[in-house]
Amino acid sequence: MSELEVYARQGMGNASGFGAAPALCIVDFVVGFADPAHFGGGNIAPAIAQTVHLLAHARARGWPVAHTRVVYADDGSDAGVFTMKAPSLRKLTETSPLSQIVPELAPRAGELVVRKRGASAFFETTLSGFLRLHRVDTLVVAGCTTSGCVRATVVDAMQHDLRTIVAVDCVGDRAIGPHEANLFDMGQKYADLLTLAEILAKQ
């Protein structure tokens, strides 16, 4: 029995689809994650290039848009256990060039910029309130890393009862193994997996 057959036999891998009011969340596509010398590598650069088209589509359709950045205080006073596991994250301060959103995805007026200290875009941030204000029922997720902050955001989106779509060619990771494994698992339990082309065709 194949892996897919095991999940299907247990009733997993169904689609939640799009609702009536989508939004786009772009997770941590900042300069530091675009640079293999710092936090990047793998397929992150191609995912950023694809997200340029997804963001243009979301703007054209009038979707609410949120961008996230990891931001710590200059003195590290708000850094927690996450930075004990990955101390280099403390470099991502408000003014650090590494923590700035990549220019090709620069936010526009009216788009939310979420500053976060953990993995999920929802944890101790204003994202859920922003989505409720706009009566969002579907969250399309792009960003990095697939196995880290994207996954955490996707799980929390589902737990907020949002239909959740992972734009599979608009998410990336510094290593392809974790990227592929986490896409598979998210697709079975937490989100629908759609390519950019499939999203454009549906919406």
User: What is the DSSP code string of the chain?
Assistant: --HHHHHHHTT--------SSEEEEEE--BHHHH-TTTT--TTHHHHHHHHHHHHHHHHHHT--EEEEEE-B-TT-TT--HHHHH-GGGGG-BTT-GGGSBPGGG---TT-EEEEESSSSSSTTSSHHHHHHHTT--EEEEEEE-IIIIIHHHHHHHHHTT-EEEEEEEEEE-SSHHHHHHHHHHHHHHT-EEE-HHHHHHH-
Annotated catalytic residues are 149
